């Protein structure tokens, strides 16, 4: 849940510090919290594009309050149908990188959301975000093993503060 708050911060920092464009993608199959937080849970997006690779992803990319950050909602396609479309992930990432310098996929818990693992072999770095004073060491170890099993190229860990974000 906190990753849905931490990933936008990461996207905004990348855009601000590097002066480059960032596409933030809600790639969470189960809760799709980032799309819900941003009020676009019923709009087409990431999972729909995986099932319709001929579509232009930019048709469904939304602006944010930062000119360098855009957002692609999770979409409306049920997560259960995603297994048939995992092979479309590399092509989709390649297409969105033609317009954006960075892509940040917000994927949810790798221990509870298999959709979060689907893009693992196709991205440069997987950032695990354990919650300070909440995430058990055994869960962090299991998450690291899961992403390595899914052939993650590089794994990083960013400790997330467990307090509610302040406005």
Where exactly are the structural domains of the chain? Answer: 3-157
* Per-residue pLDDT tens digits for 36-84: 989 999 999 999 998 888 899 999 999 999 999 999 999 988 766 666 6
Topology of domain 3-157 in CATH is Rossmann fold (3.40.50)
pLDDT for 87: 85
Would you say 40 and 62 are in contact if contact means Cβ atoms under 8 Å apart?
A: yes
Residue 5: is its pLDDT beyond 90? no
Distance CA 142, CA 76 (A): 30
């Amino acid at each position: 849940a906190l990753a849905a708050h931490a990933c936008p911060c990461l996207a905004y920092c990348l855009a601000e510090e590097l002066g480059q464009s960032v596409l933030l993608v809600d790639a969470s199959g189960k809760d799709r919290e980032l799309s819900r937080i941003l009020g676009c849970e019923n709009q087409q997006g990431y999972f729909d594009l995986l099932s319709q690779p001929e579509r232009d992803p930019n048709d469904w990319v939304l602006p944010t309050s930062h000119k360098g950050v855009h957002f692609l909602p999770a979409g409306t396609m049920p997560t259960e149908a995603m297994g048939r479309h995992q092979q479309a992930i590399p092509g989709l990432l390649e297409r969105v990188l033609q317009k954006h310098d960075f892509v940040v996929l917000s994927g949810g818990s790798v221990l509870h959301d298999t959709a979060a693992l689907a893009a693992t072999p196709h991205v440069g770095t997987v950032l695990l975000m354990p919650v300070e004073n909440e995430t058990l060491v055994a869960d962090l170890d299991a998450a690291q093993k899961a992403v390595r099993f899914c052939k993650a190229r590089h794994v990083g860990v960013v400790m997330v503060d467990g307090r509610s974000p302040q406005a």
